[in-house]
Structure 1
Amino acid sequence: MKYYAIIVAGGSGNRMQTETPKQFLLLNNLPVLMHTVKAFALSDSQPKILIVLNQEQHNYWARLCEEFNFRIPHEVISGGTERFHSVKNAIDSIEGEGVVAIHDAVRPLVSKTLIDNCFNHAVKTGNAIAAVQSSDSVRLLKGEKTSALNRDEIYLVQTPQTFSLAILKEAYQQAFNANFTDDASVVEAIGYDINITEGERNNIKITYPIDLELAELLLKK
């Protein structure tokens, strides 16, 4: 079985209040994206790593790799106008059979255990997405009315989201839809049930400045 990791790095950094895209911000003196790539390289699954970047960022990434002496093998794929198109570009570059994990570049604290669990679960069931059960009370807002939801039935979705390559190729034949919020929603749209595997609380997404500070603390631990 061949394994692949598509690391999607298209963030602009707007919510980080910085001109530097968040995947390139320094975390413990190493760009965030490099932490993410290292996590997959250290996993038992040993996937082939594909990094999806905006075409204009390719040279900058190459310079960072030289500056930080970053030698983990990987292939750089050009991104598209939406995350959907970026993932599709990476999927289209893969031939044959295999299992593919799609991961946010700005989730640098993902563990090798979670990566391997997602791959193993997807091999058995066709797909597996990491998610954690909500620990907070949850309410649904419709118009001006709110209603309580059962938090035991609410899961907060993370990445990796892992699928057989055949399922992904079928799913990404669809036209883009604004309702596609992640890869699971793309696959679900063609009729597949989505399987959850237990995620990790530490598997945070770097979106706001406080997230970077929290990631620093978690890494030091």
Structure 2
Amino acid sequence: MKKYAIIVAGGKGLRMGTEVPKQFLPIGGKPVLMRTLEAFHAYDAAMDLIVVLPVDQQAYWDGLCHDQGFAVPHRVADGGATRFHSVRNGLALVGDDGLVAVHDGVRPFVAREVIEACFREADLRGAVVPVTDVVETVRRVTPEGSVTVNRADYKLVQTPQVFRTALLKRAYRQPYSERFTDDASVVEAMGVSVALVPGNRENIKITTPFDIRVAEALTGCSI
């Protein structure tokens, strides 16, 4: 079955405190986004990779690819006003038959086993997301203060979120809503259930300077 991966990379680096968007920051000498693409290419070299970037960042990305001799095949789609619209633009390059992953461009440490499990389960069940357990105590804020909740009732959601392409395309024909926080929430709005598979804790989303330090450690580089 044809496989696609839409890599959404629309960050501006505001929480990172840098002028360079976070997806272009180097980890061990290589931009984060390149490491993310390499993770999917290593899983399946025949996978159709689509990077969604803001128009005003595409020339910079082209320059990085040229300077680094980056050879992983991929196509580029224009970013939208929100993540929802960016994914919709990426889906315009996806065929109607197959499986499609949507992944954060700043999650370069997704395990091959997780990618494989997500595609396998999506083929069987239509929609799947990787999750990890909550390991810290969780409190819910109430008007009266706060209360401890059972952390076993909660999971932390990661990407890639993988779907049958026809299903995700149909979901993204819905009008945009602020309640759409990820792709699973868009699909669930149609009444479709989403399966869960175990993620990997190293699959962090690089958003802050602290995350960069963790990422450097994960690549085995000095910080």
**Deviation of the 1:147 alpha carbon:** 2.2
Residues 168-187 of structure 1: matches in 2 within 5 Å? 168-187=168-187
Instruction: Give the aligned residue type for 1:93.
Output: L
1:119 is matched with which residue? 119
CA contact 1:45–1:116 (8 Å) conserved in 2: no
**Deviation of the 1:45 alpha carbon:** 7.2
1:201 is matched with which residue? 201
Structure 2 unaligned blocks of 5 or more: none
Q: Provide runs of 4+ in structure 1 moved above 4 Å.
A: none
Residues 1-221 of structure 1: matches in 2 within 5 Å? 1-44=1-44, 46-220=46-220
CA contact 1:131–1:197 (8 Å) conserved in 2: yes
CA distance in 1, matches of 2:143, 2:76: 44
Structure 1 unaligned blocks of 5 or more: none
CA contact 1:44–1:112 (8 Å) conserved in 2: no
- TM-score of the pair, normalised by structure 1: 0.97
Q: Residue 220 of structure 1 aligns to a residue in which SS? A: coil
Between the aligned residues of both structures, percent identity stands at 46
Q: Deviations over 1:26-48 (max 9, x none)?
A: 00000000000000000047421
Instruction: Give the aligned residue type for 1:131.
Output: V
CA contact 1:44–1:116 (8 Å) conserved in 2: no
CA distance in 1, matches of 2:116, 2:128: 11
Instruction: Give the aligned residue type for 1:121.
Output: E
Q: Deviations over 1:95-120 (max 9, x none)?
A: 23010010000001112111111111
Q: Deviations over 1:29-88 (max 9, x none)?
A: 000000000000000474210000001111110000000000110000001000000000
Instruction: Give the aligned residue type for 2:118.
Output: C
CA distance in 2, matches of 1:149, 1:47: 41
CA RMSD of aligned residues (A): 1.2
**Deviation of the 1:199 alpha carbon:** 0.4
**Deviation of the 1:139 alpha carbon:** 1.2
CA distance in 1, matches of 2:175, 2:142: 28
Instruction: Give the aligned residue type for 1:151.
Output: R
Q: CA 1:144/1:45 → structure 2, altered by over 3 Å: closer, same or farther?
A: farther
Aligned length: 221
